Amino acid sequence: SSDEPIAISPKRETAPYDGLTPTTPAASATIRVVDTSPNHPPAEATATVTFSDVQVLEPNVSSAWLIGSAQTIRWSQTGLQTVDLFYRVNSGPWQTITTGYDASLLSRAWSPPAAARSPQVEVRIRDSIDPSNGAADVSYVFKVYGALALNPISGVSVGTPYSVIWTTTPVSSVPMVSLFLVDVTRGQTSSIASSIANTGAFPWTPTLATAQAKLRVCDADFPSTDANACHESGIFPITGI
């Protein structure tokens, strides 16, 4: 609380009075109302007001959470009893994680569902007793992803069909993928297939020989350079005919 007085010009006023704007940060404050009318005997009344606030600490801007993994949402708060937690993807509608959760615990375990898969995810926390009081906060944008992993690649030659195989964790969590050829020798990256159904395999027929190549598979909804949503194979040669 603060003992700093805030002067308000005398005026005729009936309750409620909504012209007071706090200027000094504080967890609580005392409001004193004094009757200044010369025609009334001295009178005053006081009341202590407690302010409430919440701030999301985690996830943060660097968070990248695997679908289904054990994660923890963390926050700091003042003056709250219970909170509601939500998430949303791509600035869409808020989806409920939990409601009426004990605010004093300052954390809540969460395993991101497949529905949260996106490079743009946010978590929101608000006061559940009085959602309209302004005590709410939204996290930085972070990622929720499914992991892709290419099988080892060898025996690749120009003009010969080759089955590119990969796995997805969790299974079926990434509906669409894109495939790329990285020609390490020439310093070039080209698309093999874009936004195809994730069946775990793709028939590829190389058209150009190179001493050093890599394949990359990516979640089609993420950038093709995303370190979490993409996976590159080891280096292999593509032999000529």
Whole-number Å distance between alpha carbons of 172 and 199: 9
Cis amide prior to 16 (ω within 30 degrees): yes
Query: How distant, in Å, are the alpha carbons of 70, 126, 238 from that of 86?
Result: 17, 9, 49
Task: Tally Cβ neighbours within 10 Å of residue 126.
Answer: 22
pLDDT of residue 16: 54
Under a CB-based contact definition with an 8 Å cutoff, are residues 232 and 211 in contact?
no
pLDDT along the chain (241 residues), means of 10: 51 51 55 69 64 92 97 96 98 98 98 98 96 92 98 96 97 97 97 98 97 98 97 97 69
Identify which of 123, 148, 2 has the alpha carbon closest to the alpha carbon of residue 61: 123
Whole-number Å distance between alpha carbons of 229 and 143: 9
Indicate the pTM of the whole model. Answer: 0.78
Rg of the chain (C-alpha set) = 29
pLDDT of residue 195: 98
pLDDT of residue 132: 87
pLDDT of residue 41: 72
